[in-house]
Every structure is written in structure tokens, then in C-alpha cells.
A and B are shown apart, each in its own frame.
Chain A
Amino acid sequence: MSDLQSQDYVRRSASTMTPPMARSHEDQVAKLIDVTRCIGCKACQSACMEWNDLRPEIGHFEGSYENPMDLGPSVWTLMKFAEYENEQGNLEWLIRKDGCMHCEDPGCLKACPAPGAIVQYANGIVDFISDKCIGCGYCVKGCPFDIPRISKKDHKSYKCTLCSDRVSVGLEPACVKACPTGAIMFGTKTDMKDWAQERIVDLKSRGFEKAGLYDPPEVGGTHVMYVLHHADKPSLYSGLPDKPHISAVVEAWKGFIKPLALFGIAAAALAGFFHAITIGPNEVTEADEIEGARVLRESESEKSP
């Protein structure tokens, strides 16, 4: 299956590639999460665990309905609950399903130094290809939404795949199928945007004047979008970024340093070519391994209490 999916690559980390063009009839897809009809039941979390065979440890109660407490290598989606007192003094319980946003311009992919460890398909889904992942954690730094998590067991990075395995055979993601209230929808991005507009009209008629669609242009739009009652303040929803941005370091790497680096790579390739024909093959990822281990240590020490 993944072989066929490789024909749908439009981007590939740390690689320059010519996207295969034979399969040209794919629509861009999107998952639309309408938080205004979400009841926080966690059926999506349950379905995600079931379909993807994920079983995080049984945790503790930590002062919130959120369980597990954070996204993790085995927790690819998570309901987040925020208690918000609005301007009228009335309580709102803002519940948001968190997980990978599948950015059109994915910070993780840009930041990833391992060739082909992060790919984007023609339908927009951003996927991690585990056998190529070196566990360096750059994707964590590159993500504007703080989504990927590195496993302490296998030192690989994990996140929601938007059920790319299901979508590639014409099924909706598992969370969409499980959602009892239709708060999670899936289809072409165009259809999802149209449907979102209908929802926004209804919400405005119910007094949510700032209702709107979250499809942030800062990352080129996303393939997971939200309908929010308070689209003017996304951060009310357990810290959804008001203006997500890819870290300046990553942007600098891609925008300014990369051309230089490309020159470097080309020079290295040329040198490598001469190296190969004169001396023989060499291990080229060793430095990456060391750097990866360092980042991993850092990220682990950040997470432990």
C-alpha cells in the first residue's frame, strides 16, 4: 500500500523531488471539526486507539476530564476541555479535539532532516514514514501546533495520520466514523469549507457573532479545520494558536540557509561521488544520530516533571 501511496507524494522531507504525475485526479481532503456540536464524549479517542492499535498506559485523574493528560506516541488525538467565562458572565465549556492539523505548508516536514521521513500526499495528508525517522525531534520544533511526540521506546516520532491508510481506500478516518453527533466531518476541502459556512450562519443566528472557520493562512491552510464559536480568539480553545507560525529557525533554514545548504549538498554529493569512486561508501547519518539523541534528551527532560 505504501508503495502506491508513494506515487501520491507531493513533498518529501530533506529531499528535492519531482512529484509522480500519473495519478492526477486526487482531491484535496479535509477533516472539519465542528466544536460547537462536539459533546466531548471521546468516541474519537477511543476509535483512534482501536483502529491504530494504540494503548497508552492507564493514567491518573489529574484535575480535568482530559485523559491521557497529553498527546503521546500512543495518543494521536485528545479531547481538551476549557472552562471559559464569557463577557456576559456565562460559562462556556469549550471542548476541542486536538491532534495533527495536516498543514498545507507543514513545519514538521520543512524541519525534518531525514530524507523521506515526513511526506505529504496529493490529498494534503502529512504522514510520518517511521522506517526513515531518526528520532531527532526537529519535527516537534517545527510544528506550530505542538503535535508530534517522540517515543522513548523506539526514538521515533508519532502523530495522527489522518487515517491515511483508510483514506487511501476510500474510507473516512476512524474518528469521523465514530463521532456520534457528526461533529467530525470528512470530505473534500471545498465541501468542508462550504459546510462550515452553513454552520457559521446558524451560529451567528444563535448569537455567536464571531463564529468562523479556523483554516489558518499562516501555514497555507490546514487539512484539519475547526468551526469555532469564537473564531476571533482561537486560543480560548485550550491554546489553539491565534496565529500559528513555523519557527523562525525552520523558516530561516528553508528560506535562507537551504539554498546555501543545497549548494553544500551538491558539493558534498559531488565530493561523495568522487569519494565513492575513489574510496568507497560511508555512513552519512552519524552526525544526525548524535544530534537526534541530543534533541530527544532535551525533549524528554522538558516533559518529565
Chain B
Amino acid sequence: MTNTWQDIKNANVVIVMGGNAAEAHPCGFKWVIEAKIENGAKLVVVDPRFTRTASVADYYAPIRPGTDIAFLSGVIRYLLEKDAIQHEYVRAYTNASLIVKDDFTFKDGLFSGYNEDTHSYDKSSWDYELGNDGFATFDDTWQNPRCVINLLKDHVSRYTPQMVSRICGTPQDKFLHVCELIASTSAPDKAMTSLFALGWTQHSVGAQNIRNMAMIQLLLGNIGVAGGGMNALRGHSNIQGLTDVGLLSNQMPGYMNLPTDKETDFDIYMSTRQFKPLRPGQISYYQNTRKLFVSLMKALYGDAATQENNWAFDWLPKLDIPLYDIIKAFEMMNNDQMTGYICQGFNPLQAFPDRGKIRRGLSKLKFLVTMDPLDTETSRFWQDFGPQNPANSAQIQTEVFQLPTTCFAEENGSLVNSARWLQWHWKAADAPGIAMSDIWIMSGIFHRVRELYRKEGGVFPDPILNLTWKYTDPISPDPEDLAKEMNGRALADLTDAASGGVTKAGTLLDGFAQLRDDGTTSSGCWIFSGSFTEKGNQMARRDATDPREQGIAPNWAWAWPANRRILYNRASADPSGKPWNPAKPVISWNGTRWVGIDVPDYTPTLNPSAGASPFIMNDEGLGRLFARKLMVEGPFPEHYEPLESPVENVLHPKVPNNPVARVFADDRAAFGSPKNFPYVATTYRLTEHFHFWTKHALINAILQPEEFVEVGEVLAKEKGIKQGGWVKVSSKRGEVICKAYVTKRITPLTVDGKPTHVIGVPLHWGFTGQARKGYGANTLTPSVGDANTQTPEFKAFLVNIEKTTAPAT
């Protein structure tokens, strides 16, 4: 989230698209209700199904799964045509005026630089025209046709209301009404909040879905302000924390990337990361990357990371491909390239696409270690549970080690919520049986592996032998010790250049502003710096005082970065420093410094007249309507059909899908065609359950006991499906036999003149736990991900449905 849960109450319009906040985030949803009741807000829902969120919405519009970019690009077209944008904001705070290189083009579904053989782009043309001074050129009169705003206008011109309706199946009048509600927040004192979740990320164009709405929010002046923002509702209490500390194959803590194998030394690695400002006077915070990186390496390797060895840069793994994501991992397992798997707090047999492929991959392993508080399906993949898990145990040689772990209520620690708050929690109960903490288990593995390297040498022992491990209890480090390590310490006496104050060696840092690139500071996760200082554990603070009752309680827990609650909050004030919305100010310039209810996302004493723009992490200081080279499929979002789609791409039939999607040959062979699988399916959660955990809890199992799919009345009638009757839903990858919920909440959409039916597949049931056994939605889903992140395309694929009888038990 750029903003906070509480801040939702300040919105004038709440748009829920690409998510189902009431269903999946019922507790946070109270702030939407608060916005409606206390702020007169309008709630708008755009979703393939009439959801629980839609049940309390002021306006609902249906959409075909996987067509959000067509819808949102249509919204941009509408805003530009009606001139419903916040002009002063767009001119001053976005890259609308910047001039793009002449050789950047878009034609027939492809941007300039496409290579058909490698399915990738040479992105060199996707950038600004630079002047002789090295700065990006611009035209704030917007006369130059190569201005970003003019290129954008041209790009979205194809997305007329007719075209949107033709692609999305949304009736034109409903689309236009949604546009009108969105446009109402272009007034400087009005704000719209965008609430989204996996309904946008789980597509082959997931990241572009989100970018598209971010662009709308920039055009409306809704980023950085109270009641605005792009608010990703995270689906797990600590999934924000997972990404923050970099638990992804290509990342390190604090959103720094692992080097690639082309970055053979430290200087090359740094050369592409310390962005010089692209316009005069800009902050371009990533100029500090070297300080962040060196401090991380000092946290990892302590005294072994030195100036001489480039802070141990050579010990980091170097990526030969962009990502070793889960889809790739299971591809490798199936090809015998990965033979061991440690599965910590994760249930891929339920959670990842093409369950058959997951089961086959696990069956080929030499060993599988599962660490989980629950008896997961993954740890039982080898056992025959009937049609829901038909396994031939005798033929599976995988050795499975099932290690029971503590759950969150049985340990101290912190969770990072959607609003980036690190909230400390305290152990409430002892763990049952022989369950041990993840920290104890991982430490045990580390000590034993290090011992093996010590005794036996090995090809490259240095990265393991030199890891620093200075915890009070090395066998099971205290969570507070780990939190302090993430926060960071002074390793020598540090003298502040401005104040002359000295931070003594060994003391905890106050924040990442103190980090240095000479090895005198350490910080395990720079964005967490400030969370555990000499003043104590900031995450454990519980003072709910909210000075303006505007949803900002600065002394409740601690938010990264720097306890800032609203990102880009400099943009809540006009160029001179006055709040756009005087009724809901966030920060303002008082003549000598920035003051307000939040920590400024800006240099606190930087005079507005200096002309530094609010988006300080970007080298041009501006919000990007044109993403430059940061997205793999193009600087503007473009509508590409899902990999399994019922229709051709009417915009460019020759480039139907994301042209840079990574698809493995066996996965492509497992894609179905609309001839055999004519219906669009989409998967989702229900309020009664949390993923695959709560089916282990009796009350949740009572509240939603059994697997089902949702089918519209028209299709049900066509197929002779009775309310609550048994159906077989099949994709090219597998079939699910379960009951049908025949509902008015899904209606056929007219897509390119043809009726298109959507089938809803809730995902909670498996074969362990207390609820009734189910096949699992991922039996059906295709193994392909977002081209940037490889998040699987769970939200749009093809199936067939037939009535049937109950499966044999």
C-alpha cells in the first residue's frame, strides 16, 4: 500500500477492481464502510462476479477475466478526452512533459525493439531524449508530439467505449458510469483509492494491470494524498515482510537485486544502480545504493567483508536467468535438474499451477523437507487419498522429512502488514508436541552445512564459512537479535557531518540516513532501519493517538520507510507546498521546513522553490506515465489476451498474448483451446477460509465445508446443471468433480458479439484437514506467469463443465 488501511476512510471514491476486499480482507474493509458512512464515499466494484464487496457497493460493473488493461486504458482515454485530469499535478509531478526518443514506436501489438527469436525486447528506444547537458528534454506546453502525454493519448486512442465493451463484455453504459465516478476525483480536493490484490497480479500481464491504474491515479492527482493511492491488499499477514526481506530468487533484502552473471565485479554491479538525476535538482535517492549495499554485506559477512574484497561481492550468487521462480523450479524438478526441495511455510501442491505437474515433480525428488505447523497436502503428496490425490506410493522414491514448526501465536516476532507496518507480536502459547521454531530449524541446518564445508572443503566454501553469526543464542537466535541486525548498527564511531554528533560504535542506528559505504555501518534490511533503535523496539509501540483523526497514528508500531505512513506524501501539497486538499492535509511547507501529521517523503528542510519533484526514488523525480525500461513488455500497458482465451485479440490478432511471456514447451502443450474448453474460469478465496490453512480448523470447516464452483443461471440451464448438483469441471490439465452453485451473480458477457460464460472456482479444499476432501482449483490452472514476476495466471483460463455424479469415495 502507498497509504494505510485507516486512510481509506478519507476517500471520496473507493474502487475495488482486481480484488474482492470484503471477501478476502473483511477486517480492513471496515475502513471502506467508514469512508461510505463518514465521508459519503461511493464504492465502485468492477469484477467478473457480483461479489461480497459488490453487495455493499454503490455501483457494480462486470468484466471478463483478463481484460482489465482494455478497461483501464479506456478509462485513460475518457479522462484525456474529457480533460478530467488534475492539470497542475500532472504537469509538475509526472513525466507527461518529457520527450521520448524518436525511435520509440508501437505497431500491431509490439513496441520497438522486439526480437521474435528470443521473445524479448531491446529496450534502448524506451527512454527519454536526453539534451546535451545529460538531462531529459521536456516541453511543458505539451505541443511536442513526442511528449509522454501525447504518446499516451495516441496509445489509448484505440480503447473507445465500443472497443472496451467488445473486449471486456462490460456494457458501454456501465463502463461510462464507472469512468464518470473515477473522473469526479480529478478535482484537487477529491481522492480515489484503488484497492486491489491477486485479481490483478495473477495474470500474464499482472504488473501492467497495476501500472495502468497507477497511471490513472497520477492523472487524477491521487498519489501521495489522503484517501488516495495504490493499495495492494496483501493476502497473508506477512507476505509484505516476505518481499521486504527479499525472499525471492532474484532479490536481496530491501528490494535490492542479486547480481546477474554479466555483472562480474562490484563496480559493474554498482554502475547501473546509482542513478544520477535525470533532471536538474532532483533527489534520486538511489544515488545512495552503494551505502545500502555495503551495509547489507557487513550485516551478512561482518569483518570478512572488506574494502579489499569489494565487500564480499564475489560471494554472492550470480543469476544466469532472470528468475528461479516456482514455475521454473517445478519445470526443473520434472526435468531431473532439481532433486532436493526444502519447502518452508509453503504448500505448493495446493498453491501452484497445474497440480498434476507439481505432483509429478515432487515424485521425482530425492528428498523433500517440509516445515509447517500443519499437515500439508505437499507433505502427503505420496499418499493415496482417492480421486483427490491418486498416488501410487510404491513407485515414489522421494524421501520426505516433515518438520512441524511453531505458528505465529507460538513465537515472538514481527509481521509486516499491507500498510508496511512492522507490528511486533508476543508468544501466546507453547508449541504442541515436538514443533520447533523455523529459526531453530534453519539455524540447525546452517550449523550442520557449515560444519560439512569446514570438514570437507567443497568447491566454494567461502560464502558459507564467512557468514557472520553473532547471536546471543547461536542455536536459536532470539527474534529481537535478528530484528536489531536488520535495523543495523554503527561499527565504528560515526560523526554526523551536519550536527557533529557522534554515534558510538556498537549502537543501533536511528535510520538508513546514517548508512555509509565505507564499512562503518551494517544493516540487514535498509528499509527496516529505524525499527529497533536505542530507544527500543519501535515495532512494539501501541499508542493509537491519531492527532487529526485522519488515520495516521505515528506511534502505533512502525512503518517502513522511516515510519512514513503515506508514500510520496510530498505530492499531497502543490508545488509551493500548500496542501491540495486543505481539509485533509498530510504535510505542508511552513517557510522553513515540511510539517504535518506524517514523516515527509522528502528532504525535511528542502525549500519547494528548489524544484525537486516528489517522486524521489525516480531519477527524474517524476511519477511515470511512461515506464521507460522497467517493465519487460513495454512502457505503456497494452491489452494482451490471457494465454488461454476464448477469443482472438481484436486489437492485433497476430500478437494475441503477452509477447514476452515465458512459456515452457510442456506447459504450452498443456494449454487448451476454446473449441474443447469454451468457458472462462477464474479462481479465488472465500471469506470463510484462509487459503489451505483454515480447513484444518473446525469452525471454518463448518462455515464452508465442501468444494464447489459457481455457475451462472444461463449456462446451468444450457448444461442441465441443477442447484447443488454434481459437475465435472475440466481443463486440458485435469478435472475437478464437485458441486455447483447456480447463481445470478455471474451473468454471460457479450464479448466480440458472442456470449461468454465465466465459471468461478474457489480454491480452499484439499485432502488434509477437517473440511470435506476436494480436488483443489490448481488441478485446472495453467502453468504460466506474469512476464515480469512469474506470478501464475490463476485468474483467467479455459475450462469445460458437464453435469455428473458424485465421485467414488
Interface of A with B (CB < 8 Å)? 36-43, 45-46, 49-50, 55-65, 67-68, 83, 85, 90-95, 180-183, 199, 202, 206
Q: Which residues of A contact B738 (CB under 8 A)?
A: 61
Q: Which residues of A contact B743 (CB under 8 A)?
A: 83
Assuming the contacts A49-B702, A56-B702, A63-B723, asked whether A93 and B745 have C-beta atoms less than 8 A apart, the reply is yes
Quick check: B52 and A60 within 8 Å, CB to CB?
no
Quick check: A63 and B742 within 8 Å, CB to CB?
yes
Quick check: A41 and B742 within 8 Å, CB to CB?
no
Quick check: A180 and B26 within 8 Å, CB to CB?
yes
Which stretch, B287-295, B318-326, B565-573, B704-712, touches the partner chain A? B704-712
Beyond the given A39-B29, A63-B740, A91-B744, please list 14 additional residue pairs across the A-B interface where CB-CB is below 8 A. A37-B56, A39-B23, A42-B687, A49-B702, A55-B698, A57-B702, A58-B702, A61-B708, A64-B724, A67-B704, A91-B50, A93-B55, A180-B26, A202-B36
Q: How far is the CB of A36 from chain B (nearest CB, A)?
A: 7
Q: Taking the complex as formed, is B22 at the interface, i.e. its CB lies under 8 A from any CB of chain A?
A: yes
Quick check: A93 and B26 within 8 Å, CB to CB?
no
Q: List 15 A-B contacts (CB under 8 A).
A: A39-B52, A41-B23, A41-B52, A45-B703, A46-B700, A58-B772, A61-B707, A61-B738, A63-B741, A65-B741, A83-B744, A83-B745, A95-B55, A202-B36, A206-B58
Q: Taking the complex as formed, is B54 at the interface, i.e. its CB lies under 8 A from any CB of chain A?
A: yes
Interface of B with A (CB < 8 Å)? 22-23, 26-27, 29-30, 33, 36-37, 40, 50, 52-56, 58, 60, 686-688, 698-708, 723-724, 738-745, 770-772
- A36–B705 alpha-carbon span in the complex (Å): 27
- A151–B608 alpha-carbon span in the complex (Å): 73
The A contact surface, by secondary structure, is loop
Q: Which residues of A contact B704 (CB under 8 A)?
A: 65, 67
Q: Which residues of A contact B37 (CB under 8 A)?
A: 37, 199, 202
Closest B residue by C-beta to A93: B55
Quick check: B53 and A39 within 8 Å, CB to CB?
yes
- Most A C-beta atoms less than 10 A away, residue of B58, B703, B739, B743: B703
9 shortest A-B CB distances, which residue pairs?
A63-B724, A61-B706, A39-B22, A93-B55, A63-B723, A41-B26, A83-B744, A41-B687, A61-B708
Q: Which residues of A contact B687 (CB under 8 A)?
A: 39-42
- A16–B678 alpha-carbon span in the complex (Å): 70
Assuming the contacts A83-B743, A181-B33, asked whether A41 and B22 have C-beta atoms less than 8 A apart, the reply is yes
Quick check: B744 and A40 within 8 Å, CB to CB?
no
Q: How far is the CB of A134 from chain B (nearest CB, A)?
A: 29
Q: Which residues of B contact A83 (CB under 8 A)?
A: 743-745
Q: How far is the CB of B774 from chain A (nearest CB, A)?
A: 10
Assuming the contacts A36-B56, A60-B772, A63-B741, asked whether A68 and B702 have C-beta atoms less than 8 A apart, the reply is yes
Q: How far is the CB of B142 from chain A (nearest CB, A)?
A: 39
- A63–B727 alpha-carbon span in the complex (Å): 12
Q: Which residues of A contact B705 (CB under 8 A)?
A: 58-61, 67
Quick check: B741 and A180 within 8 Å, CB to CB?
no
Q: How far is the CB of B694 from chain A (nearest CB, A)?
A: 10
Q: Which residues of A contact B699 (CB under 8 A)?
A: 46, 49-50, 55
Q: How far is the CB of A186 from chain B (nearest CB, A)?
A: 16
Closest A residue by C-beta to B27: A180
Assuming the contacts A43-B26, A83-B743, asked whether A67 and B55 have C-beta atoms less than 8 A apart, the reply is no
Quick check: A40 and B55 within 8 Å, CB to CB?
yes
Partner of A181, one of B29, B60, B707, B740: B29
Assuming the contacts A39-B55, A58-B771, A58-B772, asked whether A91 and B33 have C-beta atoms less than 8 A apart, the reply is no
Q: How far is the CB of A12 from chain B (nearest CB, A)?
A: 34
Quick check: A42 and B30 within 8 Å, CB to CB?
no
